[in-house]
């Protein structure tokens, strides 16, 4: 067997972070990161690699034959006399085999995706005794246990693969699970009889790193949002297995490969413990891990846990009412493009068709990030394509469709706000709101997107604020949020803005420790940042030919940064893009993806690049899942993410907790640090979402809530 290696699959995006008119500024490459900045009159556009780093995709990540060291049972590992086996904390224990444990990141991501608090115990360094599992009052510290692999093996480097737990520690764990009726999830295993038997044996010679997983009826009960489509299992070492009759062990197959061999199963041990094992390695960036994650979390917790798993589809369109660069399919710039009133009417029709064609997206709507300096407020309202009746059909149609989209302030003129006086920043924000009001737009007034996400410290350090309508003299650098423009922040707050868009491709503008959280601005507590995802639909293209020509000029053979072995077709381009979108959706990140107004051009009947992207993402998502996708207006999204962030930080700090008494099916929620928001999945009176019920509370002190376990 080979030494275990980390399964790392990093999906990188083509980042087109701004918009503007043509520029002859050269491309500048950062030799440390490989990130490329392409100049434009409105700023630079960071371009990252178009796909996974192939050097980080190991062909094999195999498990060695596990051995368990013998140890005499210690009296201190016996159950305490005051044990309360019906009472457990709403928290999960992750058991890790130590440094290099490839399953740890996957376990963390699985729980974080549902907001479930957890502890990690490095079994190679810390002992597992009953004190680690049972609280002083006799209640259980954990409602579920995750093993990063079924035997917690370590590579000793001498051809042996000892378990990180000795026999006494395994016995202690099993005794806790049996007594407190705690389920155990093994994220990966080569099924055998060590340290315990699941009633499966891996089929020698069938090992693979590419297969597919298909759920049976029992599997669809566990993974309640998934359909019957085969799920790809790629870049993941897998041990297809067969059932093995074992006295006292009852095994239920959940999923199989194309040959009918077992890839997932639940199993009840001879002493009554409930276990679930997967025979493929997991990684938070792999499709099968993302699709299975929600169901695994629900099974492990019996559907009762702090936090929730919720999915989103938010799409922003920047620069509405302005002209923007237009790159043709022969890679030359032509007359600047401004979407027409006819385009906007068609976008409304496209949006309606998305809602009707995709049950998973019943509330989908675009957010229109508008720049009122390009609008005309002295025009009539028109709901038809009649340009001869108005001086600006786009403004007239916007009046008609004032409630059909979420209209969001993008400043009056899209000026760069890195170095801008307070008075100018205030004018740019407030006058744009005034234009929106004159047009009758239904606006998210508490939200703001600055041009190029400027004013947040990602800037040209030599910028002196004298050329805010032009491109920067030098490339932008991430100087951190501490270099944000305080005038912008003050102007935003005084204008009623709370939620400010940031750029997810800039490291300082999102929280790597909490991928689903927003960021309270460190310089102004009245401003809360919502990161936005870039994508590979370039800001200056309007047709499939233009989109693929630009993309291939970068990443096809002969391009600036060749990656693919051929020019991609538009269908291949959308397939890759929908993979990226699917990753973000399944991870539960509530952040918008952003594109630009040229991407809404009706290039053919009822078609635009932006809606092609949306439909490709929904086609892929709907192939696998029925869980509805949320689309919120920006002000509502901001409130949701702000609340979610406060709750997550309180759980991580240990000031927010839950304790489940299974005799009465009551959860006692507790806050020890003032009033905090709390979400409880499994609440009997909660609002339905998919097959779950969730309830939200503003908690100070304690609150008892009735729950209904699955």
Of the ranges 63-67, 94-98, 477-481, which one carries the lowest mean pLDDT score? 63-67
Total-model pTM = 0.92
pLDDT at 70: 81
pLDDT at 156: 78
Mean pLDDT of 3-29: 30
**481-498 residue pLDDT tens:** 999 999 999 999 999 999
**629-684 residue pLDDT tens:** 999 999 999 999 999 999 999 999 999 999 999 999 999 999 999 999 999 999 99
Q: Of 104, 255, 128, nearest to 187 (Cα)?
A: 104
Residue 16: is its pLDDT beyond 70? Answer: no
Antiparallel, parallel or unpaired: β 262-268 and 274-278: antiparallel
Domain with CATH 3.20.20.370 in the chain: 315-634
**200-243 residue pLDDT tens:** 999 999 999 999 999 999 999 999 999 999 999 998 999 999 99
Residue 599: is its pLDDT beyond 70? Answer: yes
Q: Rounded to whole angstroms, how far apart are CA atoms 118 and 651?
A: 9
Residue 574: is its pLDDT beyond 70? Answer: yes
pLDDT at 328: 97
Tell me what percent of the residues of the chain surpass a pLDDT of 90: 85
Give the DSSP letter of residue 372.
G
pLDDT at 157: 79
> Cβ(135)–Cβ(37) under 8 Å?
no
Q: Rounded to whole angstroms, how far apart are CA atoms 59 and 5?
A: 10
pLDDT at 466: 92
Please give the torsion angle defined by the CA atoms of residues 187, 189, 194 and 197, in that order, rounded to the nearest 10 degrees.
Answer: 80
Which fold is adopted by the domain 315-634? TIM Barrel (3.20.20)
pLDDT at 35: 38
Q: Of 88, 148, 159, 92, nearest to 123 (Cα)?
A: 148
Q: Rounded to whole angstroms, how far apart are CA atoms 246 and 269?
A: 10
**50-89 residue pLDDT tens:** 765 544 433 345 687 788 888 754 444 688 999 999 999 9
- Mean pLDDT, the chain, as a whole number? 90
CB atoms closer than 10 angstroms to residue 258 = 11
Residue 262: is its pLDDT beyond 70? Answer: yes
Residue in this structure with the two tokens 């590579």, named with its chain if needed:
155
pLDDT at 65: 79
Which fold is adopted by the domain 76-306? Rossmann fold (3.40.50)
Supply angle C-alpha 432, 436, 442, rounded to 5: 135
Q: Of 290, 4, 301, nearest to 152 (Cα)?
A: 4
Tokens of 228: 């019957």
Tokens of 391: 């001086």
Residue 501: is its pLDDT beyond 70? Answer: yes
Domain with CATH 3.40.50.880 in the chain: 76-306
Mean pLDDT of 529-545: 96
Q: What's the length of the chain?
A: 710
Residue in this structure with the two tokens 């409930």, named with its chain if needed:
274
Contacts of 355 (CB under 8 A, 6+ apart): 361, 362, 363, 364
Supply angle C-alpha 130, 132, 136, rounded to 5: 80
Residue in this structure with the two tokens 């491109």, named with its chain if needed:
471
The residue ranking higher by pLDDT, 529 or 469, is 529
**99-150 residue pLDDT tens:** 888 899 999 999 999 999 999 999 999 999 999 999 999 999 999 999 999 9
pLDDT at 53: 54
Three-class HEC string of 182-235: CEEEECCCCCCCCCCCCCEEECCCCCEEEEEEEECHHHHHHCCCECCCCEEEEE
Helices (H), 361-485: 393-400, 422-439
pLDDT at 107: 97
Contacts of 694 (CB under 8 A, 6+ apart): 308, 679, 680, 681, 683, 686, 687
**362-373 residue pLDDT tens:** 999 999 999 999
Q: Rounded to whole angstroms, how far apart are CA atoms 686 and 680?
A: 8
């Amino acid at each position: 067997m080979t030494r275990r290696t980390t399964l790392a699959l990093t999906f990188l995006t083509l980042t087109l972070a701004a918009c503007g008119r043509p520029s002859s500024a050269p491309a500048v490459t950062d030799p440390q990161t490989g990130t490329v900045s392409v100049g434009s009159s409105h700023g630079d556009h960071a371009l990252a690699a178009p796909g996974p780093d192939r050097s980080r995709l190991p062909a094999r990540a195999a498990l060695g034959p596990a051995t368990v060291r013998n140890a005499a049972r210690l009296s201190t590992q016996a159950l305490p006399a005051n044990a309360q086996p019906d009472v457990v904390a709403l928290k999960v224990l992750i058991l890790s085999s130590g440094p290099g444990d490839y399953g740890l990141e996957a376990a963390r991501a699985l729980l974080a995706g549902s907001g479930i608090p957890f502890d990690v115990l490095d079994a190679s360094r810390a002992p597992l005794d009953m004190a680690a599992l049972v609280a002083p009052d006799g209640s259980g510290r954990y409602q579920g246990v995750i093993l990063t692999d079924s035997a917690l093996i370590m590579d000793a480097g001498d051809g042996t693969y000892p378990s990180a737990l000795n026999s006494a520690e395994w016995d202690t764990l099993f005794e806790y699970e049996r007594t407190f009726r705690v389920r155990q999830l093994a994220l990966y295993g080569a099924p055998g009889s060590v340290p315990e038997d699941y009633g499966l044996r891996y089929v020698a010679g069938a090992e693979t790193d590419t297969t597919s997983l298909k759920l049976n009826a029992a599997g669809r009960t566990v993974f309640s949002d998934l359909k019957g489509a085969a799920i790809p299992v790629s870049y993941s070492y897998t041990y297809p297995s067969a059932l093995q009759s074992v006295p006292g062990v009852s095994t239920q197959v959940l999923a199989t490969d194309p040959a009918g061999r077992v890839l997932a199963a639940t199993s009840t041990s001879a002493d009554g413990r409930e276990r679930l094992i997967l025979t493929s390695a997991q990684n938070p960036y792999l499709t099968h891990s993302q699709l299975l994650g929600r169901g695994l979390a629900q099974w492990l917790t019996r559907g009762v846990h702090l936090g929730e798993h919720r999915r989103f589809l938010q799409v922003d369109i920047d620069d509405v009412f302005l002209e923007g660069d237009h790159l043709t399919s022969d890679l030359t710039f032509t007359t600047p493009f401004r979407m027409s009133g006819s385009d906007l009417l068609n976008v409304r029709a496209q949006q309606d068709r998305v809602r009707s064609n995709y049950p998973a997206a019943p509330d989908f709507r675009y957010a229109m990030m508008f720049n009122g300096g390009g609008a005309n407020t002295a025009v009539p309202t028109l709901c038809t394509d009649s340009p001869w009746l108005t001086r600006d059909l786009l403004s007239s149609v916007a009046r008609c469709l004032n409630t059909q989209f979420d209209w969001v302030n993008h400043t009056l003129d899209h000026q760069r706000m890195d170095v801008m006086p307070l008075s100018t920043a205030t004018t740019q924000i407030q006058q744009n709101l005034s234009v929106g009001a004159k047009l009758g737009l239904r606006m998210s007034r508490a939200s703001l997107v600055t041009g190029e996400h400027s004013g947040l410290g990602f800037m040209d350090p030599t910028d002196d604020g004298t050329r805010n309508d032009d491109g920067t003299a030098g490339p932008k650098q991430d100087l951190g949020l501490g270099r944000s423009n305080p005038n912008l922040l003050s102007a935003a707050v005084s204008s009623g803005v709370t939620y400010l868009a940031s750029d997810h491709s800039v490291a300082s503008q999102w929280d790597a420790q909490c991928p689903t959280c927003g960021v309270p601005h460190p310089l102004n507590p009245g401003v809360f940042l919502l990161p936005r995802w870039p994508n590979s639909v370039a800001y200056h293209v309007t047709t499939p030919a233009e989109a693929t020509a630009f993309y291939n000029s970068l990443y096809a053979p002969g391009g600036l940064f060749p990656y693919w072995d051929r020019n991609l077709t538009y269908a291949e381009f959308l397939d890759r893009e929908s993979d990226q979108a699917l990753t973000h959706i399944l991870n539960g990140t509530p952040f918008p993806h952003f594109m630009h107004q040229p991407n809404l051009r009706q290039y053919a009947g009822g078609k635009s690049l932006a809606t092609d992207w949306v439909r490709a993402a929904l086609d892929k998502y709907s192939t696998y899942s029925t869980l509805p996708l949320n689309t919120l207006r920006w002000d509502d999204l901001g409130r949701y993410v702000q609340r979610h962030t406060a709750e997550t930080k309180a759980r991580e700090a240990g000031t927010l907790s839950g304790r489940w008494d299974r005799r009465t099916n009551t959860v006692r929620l507790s806050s020890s640090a003032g009033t905090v928001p709390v979400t409880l999945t499994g609440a009997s009176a909660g609002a339905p979402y998919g097959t779950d019920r969730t309830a939200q509370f503003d908690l100070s002190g304690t609150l008892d809530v009735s729950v209904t376990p699955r």
